[in-house]
Amino acid sequence: MTTAVANASTGGNGALTAVAASARQVVKAYGVGETRVVALDRVDVDIARGAFTAIMGPSGSGKSTLMHCLAGLDTVTEGHISIGEHEITRLKDKKLTQLRRDRIGFIFQAFNLLPTLNAYENITLPMDIAGRKPDRAWVEQVIGTVGLADRLTHRPNQLSGGQQQGAPPSGSWGRVAVARALAARPEIIFGDEPTGNLDSRAGAELLGFLRRSVDELGQTIVMVTHDPVAAAYADRVLYLADGRLVDEMHRPTAEQVLDRMRRFVGDASHAQQPHTPESHAPGHGYPPRSVDDPRSVSGPYSPDDPHIAAPGHHGTSGRAS
């Protein structure tokens, strides 16, 4: 099952690089003069192909800005961004839009599903808009991976058994959003707090699907998150502070991520607590309970759920490495 995305990522000229995206000396500044804010301050990073990368850091550290610049959703003030072999900082708007459409997938917090379309139509919508014919075999494989095969004709509201309009999206919405991002076989998928709107169980499920798409389909994923439990699903966690990359970890447990985030709290210049399972729970002070606690943000791992990755490797309780 590892060939599909790898084949897709060879792109038009057949070149396949080990680096799916890169930033070189990237500066992003907003405003001028006294109101100038430097959101990214000479960031150098390579995003490995076929890996799951999480971006963490205190609020305002530049996580979303880095993701938006890497994804070509925002321009850089200085420096260079490449997606595969294409330097996108030199592309004109039309070419950039085309590259984003053809090579990049997105999963936003709100999922942006259309309630009038059924699951299958939502999944193939970006390709329909681009005038591309879906690769049926691939789309079916993706649909099987996220467990939607028997619910393709359901609309998003029906997927969760009569979910009310305005209610937070259910796990099924997350499944459709993941399938939609994967369906066009993008070289890279960017997620901006994709579990931010989900309850703990649905969040764990979505993260499990992302993990599977990397392990089984060879997908490349970059995810911004505040949640140490979510970051523990990643192969690599990048830490930003004041617009700079200040640290990274490989295959960390949720506890290790949380410990690293606490060190930002200790720094007077980052006087904000990291987002933790407890930071929004009344009556729970710092330090938080263990991320193994079933009440933690992504809930308990269910060994019976075939869609969720095994915890010994990438589970909600971190890795048993």
Residues interacting with ligand ATP, by CB under 6 A?
30-31, 37, 39, 57, 59-65
Question: Which residue, 120 or 264, is less far from ligand ATP as judged by CB?
Answer: 264
Long-range contacts of 138-142 (CB under 8 A, 24+ apart): 138/4, 138/183, 138/185, 139/179, 139/183, 141/1, 141/4, 141/217, 142/179, 142/182, 142/183, 142/217
Residue with token string 């911004």: 224
**For residue 73, what are the CA distances in angstroms to 25, 70, 89?**
18, 8, 11
- Cβ of residue 210: shortest distance to ligand ATP, in angstroms? 19
- DSSP label at residue 253: -
Question: Which residue, 249 or 309, is less far from ligand ATP as judged by CB?
Answer: 249
Q: What gap in Å lies between CA 282 and CA 280, rounded to an integer?
A: 6
Q: What gap in Å lies between CA 11 and CA 186, rounded to an integer?
A: 10
Question: Which residue, 31 or 306, is less far from ligand ATP as judged by CB?
Answer: 31
Question: Which residue, 127 or 221, is less far from ligand ATP as judged by CB?
Answer: 221
Question: Which residue, 185 or 275, is less far from ligand ATP as judged by CB?
Answer: 275
Question: Which residue, 41 or 216, is less far from ligand ATP as judged by CB?
Answer: 41
Question: Which residue, 142 or 230, is less far from ligand ATP as judged by CB?
Answer: 230
- Cβ of residue 227: shortest distance to ligand ATP, in angstroms? 11
Long-range contacts of 146-153 (CB under 8 A, 24+ apart): 146/175, 146/176, 146/178, 146/179, 146/209, 146/307, 147/175, 147/306, 147/307, 148/119, 148/123, 148/172, 148/175, 148/176, 148/179, 151/119, 152/118, 152/119, 152/120, 152/123, 153/118, 153/119, 153/120
- Cβ of residue 14: shortest distance to ligand ATP, in angstroms? 35
- Cβ of residue 61: shortest distance to ligand ATP, in angstroms? 4
Q: What gap in Å lies between CA 230 and CA 224, rounded to an integer?
A: 10
- Cβ of residue 281: shortest distance to ligand ATP, in angstroms? 19
- Cβ of residue 56: shortest distance to ligand ATP, in angstroms? 9
From its phi and psi, is residue 198 left (phi > 0), alpha (psi between -120 and 50) or beta? beta
Question: Which residue, 63 or 212, is less far from ligand ATP as judged by CB?
Answer: 63
- Cβ of residue 27: shortest distance to ligand ATP, in angstroms? 12
- Cβ of residue 317: shortest distance to ligand ATP, in angstroms? 24
Burial class (CB in 10 A: 0-12, 13-18, 19+), 271: exposed
